[in-house]
């Protein structure tokens, strides 16, 4: 006999969980009461949103599921942003919320919220436990659902009397998942056609998405690239999926993609998309995207095939199986005509180099990011918040390994960065974590600085402080006649003093010649450190394809000009 809370902790231990993020409250006191008797380590966040983003950062950095506890009502609703974020970015999260007692359900009891109802559209599944003896089956199923196929969040809502109720819990049976009949896949049927198309393609291109990171097929992808002379662009979540320092890697494509990557997309005759979901941030106007290409779309989630972009061949399946099968095909032969394509791309790279920033005095984001990358070396995890700084990092921080880049992609959640960086530090002990965060997003979850200090986490915060909500400010500059409505902060705190209040060493960076030494000092700290980087608010992320636009609309400071124009010259 044990109580429900003990059973839950046993269950998590059995699943190999050793770390949980969370925040207590009335309905989970029984759970926290028995925590000390388990092998689990609990990290107390300073807000449930912090706990859930930390669990996400942990999961993305370590490749293991993130686990998060919260109390009923406001505790549970505070999780919602993080749950939706994990859902969009396919992050496996196991969320446990306390609920009011069974007898109080549906009576608007104190701190009651229908969290399973609220979370249904943003989870893979939710469960409300109504009897102690359901615990084994429900927990087992929830765990399976979270990890099977495309990963994502699951939520188990547990009424307080189930936590305290004693029971001898039965062995878990296999519940409903065994009955599910998967949709028919055309997994390998089309392989001969795919091989043929790749062999014949003169201008082939790979688009690597977050699925490549999740399925860990960096090496297989690289083999294919090298064997067949196929260049690869990546999505935001696919950053690090193929080594960005490799000559065949073009970096990020899409709205703020690199010019050569976007031009390659526009001109390719074959696109092999692996684990990418063709978000509108990649495609722009989907009707005018990929005018000439034969599209092969590989995704674990069959519902992604044909969702945003019609695929000529859709392959529903695991990227590893697909790539290995492909690579083992003896008919796969490198097409010599691809050489001209690679040359063409190199020409674009030379003609349209990365934007180094506008004609302003002062510290430039691009320079800070490049110097940070240079000093941090290859063994660091890079985390961002959401905004201009995020795009600058995606463009200018070259990354070679999957799981080294953690960012809120699909939902674009400001406030994600700081807690996710804390989680990443737990997930990758011994490695430095570099957090790039805007002055806006930083203030959304700034309370989690306490977690960095409490656990002495080596998170180096690059506060990209431009005094504005930069990304929105940029849209207002370009598309709203410089009507900077509500995007300029009338007051910002002294971030150096703020960090110091948490006992975190902090440095101000406002001179370009100080970039290297200040970064050195921050990296030399054993634990956390903050650099308040003073950035010009007028800086723009370029290139930029306006929302819903096409690649001809890509705006930038082209060919050394200081003014912004479209790449087509119009």
Ligand X SMILES: Cc1ncc(C[n+]2csc(CCOP(=O)(O)OP(=O)(O)O)c2C)c(N)n1
Give the residue with the Cβ less far from other proteins, 300 or 449: 300
Number of neighbours of residue 516 by Cβ within 10 angstroms: 14
106 binds other proteins (CB under 8 A): no
Partners of 125 in the β-ladder: 154
Task: Say if residue 402 is exposed, middle or buried (CB neighbours under 10 Å; 0-12, 13-18, 19+).
Answer: buried
Interacting residue with Mg ion among 439, 448, 532, 539 (CB under 5 A): 439
Tell me the chain's radius of gyration from C-alpha atoms. Answer: 24
Alpha-carbon distance values, 200 to 194, 312, 320, 422 (Å): 10, 15, 23, 47
Residue 414 in contact with ligand X, rule: CB under 6 A: yes
Question: 437 Cβ partners below 8 Å, 6+ apart?
Answer: 384, 385, 389, 417, 418, 461, 462, 463, 464
Region 174-193 residues binding other proteins, contact defined as CB under 8 A: 176-177, 179-183
DSSP string, 163-206: HH-EE-PPPP---GGGG--PPPP-TTTTHHHHHHHHHH-SSEEE
If binding is defined by CB under 6 A, does position 395 make contact with ligand X? no
Minimum separation from the CB atom of position 500 to other proteins (A): 46
- Cα within 13 Å of Cα(275), Cβ side: 33
Minimum gap (Å) between residue 97 Cβ and other proteins: 16
Q: Which two tokens stand for residue 252?
A: 């990020």
Q: Is 267 left (phi over 0), alpha (psi -120 to 50) or beta?
A: alpha
Residue 239 is classified by DSSP as B
488-527 residues near ligand X, rule: CB under 6 A: none
| 97 binds other proteins per the rule CB under 8 A | no
Stretch that binds Mg ion, among 192-200, 377-385, 462-470, 499-507 (CB under 5 A): 462-470
In the complex, minimum distance from the CB of residue 90 to other proteins, in angstroms, rounded to a whole number: 12
With CB under 5 to 8 Å by kind, the binding choice for 511 among ligand X, other proteins, Mg ion, none is none
Using CB under 6 A, pick the residue from 102, 342, 472, 496 that binds ligand X: 472
Q: Which stretch binds ligand X (CB under 6 A): 366-374, 423-431, 449-457, 462-470?
A: 462-470
| Given 275, 284, 427, 438, the residue binding Mg ion (CB under 5 A) | 438
3-state secondary structure of 19: strand
432: contact with Mg ion by CB under 5 A:
no
CA distance 401 to 241: 6
Q: Is 470 in the site for Mg ion (CB under 5 A)?
A: yes
**DSSP conformation letters of 523-564:** HHSSS-EEEEEEB-TT----SB--TT--GGG-EE-GGG-SS-
For ligand X, the binding residue among 24, 211, 238, 440 (CB under 6 A) is 440
**Judged by CB under 8 A, does residue 116 bind other proteins?**
yes
- Region of 69-77, 280-288, 438-446, 538-546 interacting with Mg ion (CB under 5 A): 438-446
| Interface with ligand X, residue 466, by CB under 6 A | yes
Contacted by 120, from other proteins, ligand X, Mg ion, none: CB < 5 to 8 Å by type: other proteins
Q: Which residue bears the tokens 């699909």?
A: 410
Q: Which residues bind ligand X (CB under 6 A)?
A: 385-389, 412-415, 438-441, 464, 466, 468-472
Q: Which residues bind other proteins (CB under 8 A)?
A: 116-117, 120-121, 124-125, 141, 145, 176-177, 179-183, 301-303, 306-307
């Amino acid at each position: 006999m044990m109580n429900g809370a003990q059973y839950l902790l046993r269950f998590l231990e059995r699943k190999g969980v050793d770390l949980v993020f969370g925040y207590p409250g009335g309905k989970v006191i029984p759970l926290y009461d028995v925590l000390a008797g388990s092998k689990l380590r609990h990290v107390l966040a300073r807000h449930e949103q912090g706990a859930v983003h930390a669990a996400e950062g942990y999961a993305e950095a370590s490749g293991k599921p993130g686990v998060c506890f919260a109390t009923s009502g406001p505790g549970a609703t505070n999780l919602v942003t993080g749950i939706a974020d994990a859902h969009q970015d396919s992050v496996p999260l196991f969320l446990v919320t306390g609920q009011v007692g069974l007898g109080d359900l549906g009576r608007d009891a104190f701190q009651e919220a229908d969290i399973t109802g609220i979370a249904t559209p943003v989870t893979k599944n939710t469960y409300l436990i109504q009897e102690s003896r359901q615990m084994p089956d429900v927990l087992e199923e929830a765990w399976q659902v979270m990890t099977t196929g495309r990963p994502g969040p699951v939520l188990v809502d547990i009424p307080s009397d189930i936590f305290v109720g004693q029971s001898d819990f039965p062995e878990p049976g296999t519940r409903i998942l065994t009955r599910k009949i998967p949709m028919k896949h055309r997994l390998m049927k089309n392989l001969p056609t795919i091989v043929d198309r790749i062999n014949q393609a003169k201008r082939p291109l790979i688009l690597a998405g977050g699925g490549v990171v999740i399925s860990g097929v960096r090496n297989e992808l690289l083999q294919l690239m090298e064997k067949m002379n196929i260049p690869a662009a990546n999505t935001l979540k696919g950053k690090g999926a193929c080594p960005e320092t490799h000559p065949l890697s073009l970096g990020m494509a899409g709205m703020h993609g690199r010019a050569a990557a976007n031009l390659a997309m526009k001109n390719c005759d074959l696109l092999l998309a692996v684990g990418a979901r063709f978000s509108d941030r990649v495609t722009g106007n989907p009707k005018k995207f990929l005018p000439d290409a034969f599209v092969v779309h590989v995704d674990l989630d069959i519902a992604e095939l044909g969702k945003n972009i019609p695929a000529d061949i859709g392959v529903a399946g695991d990227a590893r199986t697909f790539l290995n099968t492909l690579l083992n095909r003896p008919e796969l032969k490198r097409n010599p005509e691809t050489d001209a394509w690679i040359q063409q791309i190199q020409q674009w790279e030379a003609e349209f180099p990365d934007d180094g920033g506008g004609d302003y005095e002062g510290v430039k984001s691009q320079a800070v990011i490049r110097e940070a990358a240079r000093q941090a070396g290859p063994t660091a995890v890079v985390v961002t918040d959401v905004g201009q700084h995020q795009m600058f990092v995606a463009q200018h921080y070259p990354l070679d390994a999957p799981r080294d880049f953690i960012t809120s992609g699909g939902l674009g959640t400001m406030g994600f960065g700081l807690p996710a960086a804390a989680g990443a530090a737990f997930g990758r002990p011994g490695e430095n974590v570099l957090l790039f965060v805007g002055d806006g997003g930083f203030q959304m979850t700034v309370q989690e600085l306490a977690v960095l200090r409490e656990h002495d986490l080596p998170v180096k915060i690059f506060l990209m402080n431009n005094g504005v909500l930069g990304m929105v400010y940029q849209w207002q500059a370009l598309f709203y006649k410089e009507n900077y409505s509500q995007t300029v902060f009338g007051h910002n705190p002294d971030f150096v003093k703020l960090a110091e209040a948490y006992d975190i060493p902090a440095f101000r960076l406002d001179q370009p010649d100080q970039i290297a030494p200040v970064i050195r000092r921050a990296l030399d700290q054993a634990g956390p450190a903050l650099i308040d980087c003073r950035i010009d608010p007028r800086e723009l992320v370029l290139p930029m394809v306006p929302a819903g636009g096409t690649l001809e609309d890509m705006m930038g400071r082209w060919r050394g000009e200081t003014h912004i124009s479209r790449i087509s010259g119009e």
